[in-house]
Each structure stands twice: as structure tokens, then as C-alpha cells.
Amino acid sequence: MRTSDFDYDLPPELIAQQPVEPRDSARLLVVSRSTAGLAHHHVRDLPALLRAGDLLVLNDTRVMAARLLGVRADTRGRVELLLLREHDDGAWSALVRPGRAAAPGRELRLEAHDGPLTATVRRREEDVATVTFDRPIDPSSAGTVPLPPYIHD
């Protein structure tokens, strides 16, 4: 199996750029477990679709405001960090783009919402770098929400 087996064409006009209003008019695809048939509904139809014993799983996750933009301290080349998780010692696992900017020892000057920030790459394993910052950070006040390339601000 190849990842290209999952490629498909998605016309840009079908990509929602913002949530639908009212929210309960969002589309809902229902799969029948007994027939494997598909039916198109709206979220507002959900109460009428549920039966006794059904299990409803809600996903209330939020995307962390973990995107930081800046430059390499040595070349002033642009850089982007996407914070993944904080370690017990205050360091962070992060994706760094471009990847060559994630060389151990490299300093990155970042523009955070709560003021300038310097990150130092401690180490890199595969595509993930471990970085430390010159001060404690809270992504919700420092970074921005990373948007996929098909969503426009």
C-alpha cells in the first residue's frame, strides 16, 4: 500500500474557510451499521437519529496556539517552530522548518505575542528538535494557531 492510494481531488470551493452558521446546520454523514448505507443529515437531526443504547463520542479537543515564527540568529533566514509538547525540564519538542535550521546549538530569534523570544536547539532526532527558550513560555499567549495550507486567514 502506498500513501498515494489515499490521494483524492478536493475542489477548493468545497473547503470550509469558517464554521457554518447556525452551527447546527453543519452537515452530518450517518453510516448504518446494519446495512453499511450512507445517509446525509445535519447536526440538528442528531437527537432524532439516536436510539437507546447508542454511544455518542464527542471530540472537544482544541488546537494549541503553538506556531512561532522568527529567524535564525546567524543568517537571519526565516524559520518556523511548531511546538509539540513540553518536557518536565521546560524544554519543548518541536518541528522546525526548514529542517536545516534545527542544527544543535543554533539560536532562533522568534516573535511571540508576549514579546521577543530566543530558542536554542538542544538536539535533533529525525524531524523533531528539542529546544529550550530564554524564558518560560505559554503557547496560548506566545504562539498562533497553526492552520493547514488550505485554510486562509
Q: What number of other Cβ atoms are within 10 A of residue 124's Cβ? A: 17
Q: Is the pLDDT of residue 153 over 80?
A: no
For residue 82, is it within any domain? yes
Residue 42 makes CB contacts below 8 A (sequence gap 6+) with 24, 25, 26, 27, 28
pLDDT per position as a tens digit, 51-74: 998 888 888 888 888 999 999 999
For residue 125, is it within any domain? yes
For residue 24, is it within any domain? no
Q: Is the pLDDT of residue 116 over 80?
A: yes
Cβ 102 vs Cβ 121: under 8 Å: yes
Total domains in the chain come to 1
Q: So what's the pLDDT on residue 65?
A: 86
Q: So what's the pLDDT on residue 143?
A: 87
Give the C-alpha distances (Å, rounded to integers) separating 98 from 52, 84, 116, 148: 52, 16, 20, 17
> Is the full-model pTM beyond 0.75?
no
Q: So what's the pLDDT on residue 10?
A: 87
Q: For residue 87, what are the domain limits? A: 67-142
The C-alpha cell at 147 is 492552520
For residue 3, is it within any domain? no
For residue 1, is it within any domain? no
| DSSP at 34 | T
